[in-house]
Structure 1
Amino acid sequence: MSYDRLLLIVAVLIVALAYTLARPQEFVLSDVANKTMCPIEVEINENVDRIPRRIKFLKCAARPNKLCSEHHISHGCCKQHHHAFVTECVEIYDWVQVTFKGSDAPKAIKVPVGCTCLIEETTVAGEVP
């Protein structure tokens, strides 16, 4: 085998490896849903009189800091109170267009699509006269 041919094979293998590593990875929602600072609970909202009939609601978990205590994490939303601000997990919403049976007009409904850590600044109250 010639040196040029071997070099070409190595170059093709490097390009193929780079392409494979650069491809975006696909994640399954159930695999990553509760590995964030603000884990979510997935709820299927079903209404037989609505199109679409089923809508996936991604809500903040009832106990968002359970993950923190299990893994001994003490930053971000895991540490609820800081000096100048309070952190909390809050739901993120979006609007989804739906149509109800018997109605031709579409309607927008508010749907929870995730959960994120929110920082709320706080101030010390002054003296009350």
Structure 2
Amino acid sequence: MSSEKYIFIASVCVVAIFVSRSTAGPAPKVVNIEDVLNRTVCPFKVDIDINEDRVPRRIKMIRCAEQPNHWCRANAIPDHECCHHKHSNHEMECVEVRDKALVYYKSSDRTDYMDVTVGCTCMIGTVNTVHAGS
């Protein structure tokens, strides 16, 4: 291959990288888990599920804290500004987010899917109201 072809291919790659970066939105802010542990609207706790027979042996579970509003209360933030409140047409609640992880069990030489709790977030839902006389 001639040097002109190499230069052309390299130029196309540089342009493609530039275009892909310029059309993408701003990069998301990255924060360590320890820094956000109880500074979120829905505080969470981190549990490690260990099973010596499983690959991976250790799986991190990120679950909602038992009292998700303790940070809000400690900082005098009204309940209606934190998660876990009901309004006339919607409610907000801290919920655990789950996903499935493929794991391998050595003793039975099989793979299986395991439910893994990957986070805790504030979700908005509608309130099902029942009116008297309806």
TM over 0.5: yes
TM-score normalized with structure 1 length: 0.73
Question: What secondary structure does 2:67 align onto?
Answer: coil
Give, in whole Å, the separation in 2 of the partners of 1:23 and 1:113: 22
Relative to structure 1, the CA distance from residue 76 to residue 46 in structure 2 (aligned partners, 3 Å threshold; closer, same or farther) is same
- Cα 1:124–1:56 change in 2 (3 A) is same
Residue equivalent to 1:50: 54
1:77 is the counterpart of 2:83: yes
Which residue number corresponds to residue 91 of structure 1? Answer: 96
Deviations 1:40-97 (A, max 9, x none): 100011011111111000000010000110112231415x122212211000111111
Q: Is the 8 A contact 2:69 2:82 kept in 1?
A: no
Q: Structure 1: where are the runs of 5+ without partners?
A: 1-21
1:66 aligns with 2:52: no
- TM-score for both structures, normalised by structure 2: 0.70
Confirm or deny: 8 A CA contact 2:86 2:92 kept in the other structure: yes
Alignment of 1:1-129 (within 5 A): 26-74=30-78, 75-77=81-83, 80-127=85-132
Q: Distance between the aligned counterparts of 2:89 and 2:69, measured in 1?
A: 20
Unaligned 5+ residue runs, structure 2? 1-25
RMSD over aligned Cα atoms: 2.2
Change (3 A) 1:124 1:27: closer
Task: Tell me the amino acid that sits aligned with residue 91 of structure 2.
Answer: V
**CA distance in 2: counterparts of 1:127 and 1:64, whole angstroms:** 33
